Every structure is written in C-alpha cells, then in structure tokens.
Amino acid sequence: MAISMWDGAGEMFEPNPVQAKLLKAVQNLASDNQHLIDQSRTVGSQGLSPMALAHLDIGRRTRENLEAIATAVGVPKSVIDYTRACGERGHRWAPGQPLLSTEAIDRDTLLRGHRRAVAELQTMAGVGAAAARQGDLSRAGFSAFRRVMGVSWQQVGAVGHTLGLTTVEQQHAWEPTPRAWTEQVAHALSKLDRAELSARWQAVIDTDFATVSMPVMVLQAAGITPDDINRQLPVLPDRMVELAAAALEPRPTERVVGGVDIDAAIEATGTGAHTEHDPTDPRPGPTPDQHTGPEIGPGP
C-alpha cells in the first residue's frame, strides 16, 4: 500500500484507505467521548458515574492507540490533532473532509519506528518465555499474555503492510543486525532480575484488551487481511515465544527449566479446549472482550 510523502509546505493531505479508517475512528471516538461529557453536564451537578468515567477512559486510551498507529503509517501529527479536535467539537467523520498537512513525512523515520515496534514484539515474546521458565504461571495470566501478544503481532504486521515494505525492509526490521533476534532478546532479558521480569510480565497481562484490539479491528475494516499480515512477519506469535525460550536455555536442546516447558505452559492454559477465537491466530474472529468502539464503517 502506497504511503505518500509530503514536503510540509501546507499541502492538503489525502489519506489512503487505511489512514482514512484510522482518522475516522479517532474523530468518532473523540466525538463519542465529548457527547458523553456534554450529556453529564445537562443532567445536573452530579457529574459522571463511575461506569461513564470508565467508558471515557477506555475511549481515550483506545483513541491514543489509534493515533499512535496513524502516526506509524504516515499520518502527520497536525492532521491527527485536527481530526481529534473536530471530534471534540462534536463533528463526526465525513468522507472527503479537508485535511491540511504542515509537516514533512520521512520514510526513514517511519521505518525506524516500525523496527522499534518489531523489536518490542520480540521482547514481549522473550518476556513470555522467561516467565514460563520461572514456573507457577496461572492459566488466566498465560491466556492474557497470548491474547495481547497475538493482537500486537497482528498490529505490527498490519503496519508493515500499510508501509508497503520491500523484502529487504522486512528482513531488516526482523533482524536489523547479524545477531539473531532471539539472541538479542536473551541478552537483554539476562540483565533483568526476577522482580524486573515480573514487572514486565505483569505489564503485558494487565493490558486492557479492548484498547489494543479495537485498532486491529479498524485495520481489518480497512481491508488488511490475515495474508497481508502473514507476509510481513516470518514467525507466528506462539512460535516466537518458543524460539525465545530456546535462546534463553543454557543448552538450546534442553527447553525444560524448573519443570516448565513453554509448550507445557501453553498446554496448561487449556487453549486447545476453547471454542472462542484465539487472538494469536492471525485470522480475525469474534471475541467477547472486544470493545465495540466508534463506528468504523462503511465508508472511507
């Protein structure tokens, strides 16, 4: 998918279909939140209920994630700010609405950002592998990790597709140095003590799934398919964790430490017995935890 470059001279920004879907979701979420705030002011001085405040918080964090992805796929900050402001003034997205860009978009900057996102995904896989080595993983905790890892994998792949990466750019994003990515991750995690690793693990499993799954739904609504994502990332999420686990072992052929093998940890979640969609599967499917979010289609 083509990403246009702008010279920052105050030109009109014409979003591609993915960028338009992201901007639409940003503006409509901002509009929905503002409508909820305005409604609370008409009821009286009681303010927002705890449920309404929680809804606002989810909407805000989801919108921020959408804005981060929009930035990652080349939408200028000035366009994102303007779109959000339109929503906060109560205006919902209108196809073809004028968008003025005042910034230059540099492809090298976008590629650096994508490489960071890939590295973060690889580190997440390493955190899951290292936590499994410690043992005593709860079924709920490991299931939550797999869900977040899976949806993060889909997001990174979707961004790579939108950027229209060449084969060389894909390979460089996955392994930017001669050192294997698994060795890089193992080296970084070896510097963490047990408490630091536990904090990393907890941060992943505490992620609000609604706020990270909604952006992926928007990307899917823009027409990005599982095949598009698969072409960007050479290894599926569970396999990434397995490879990271092997790299963490003193002897790669022995993957059991403390009585816990990463395959055993996955099996212990009982995932195979579940009928709901597995978010580590790149094929989209329903999940009861998906937040309905703003209206994202039809239309650009």
How do the domains of the chain map onto residue ranges?
Answer: 1-105, 107-273
In the predicted model, is pLDDT for residue 219 greater than 90?
yes
- In b/e form, how buried is each residue of 106-135, taking b as 16+ CB within 10 angstroms? eeeebbebbeebbbebbbbbbbbbbbbbee
Across the range 146-150, mean pLDDT stands at 97
Across the range 102-130, mean pLDDT stands at 95
In the predicted model, is pLDDT for residue 200 greater than 90?
yes
Euclidean distance between CA atoms 185 and 68, whole angstroms: 24
In this structure, what token pair is assigned to residue 253?
């052929």
Burial class (CB in 10 A: 0-12, 13-18, 19+), 99: buried
In the predicted model, is pLDDT for residue 9 greater than 80?
no
Asked if residue 162 lies in contact with residue 1, where contact means CB atoms within 8 angstroms, the answer is yes
* Secondary-structure percent of the chain, ordered helix, strand, coil, rounded to 5: 60, 0, 35
pLDDT in tens, 64-112: 999 999 999 999 999 999 999 999 999 999 998 999 888 888 999 999 9
Confidence of residue 1 (pLDDT cuts 50, 70, 90): low
In the predicted model, is pLDDT for residue 260 greater than 80?
no
Asked if residue 240 lies in contact with residue 125, where contact means CB atoms within 8 angstroms, the answer is yes
Cis peptide bond N-terminal to 298, omega within 30: yes
pLDDT for residue 266: 53
Asked if residue 83 lies in contact with residue 142, where contact means CB atoms within 8 angstroms, the answer is no
pLDDT for residue 43: 55
Confidence of residue 264 (pLDDT cuts 50, 70, 90): low
pLDDT for residue 258: 41
pLDDT for residue 64: 97
Is this structure's pTM higher than 0.85? no
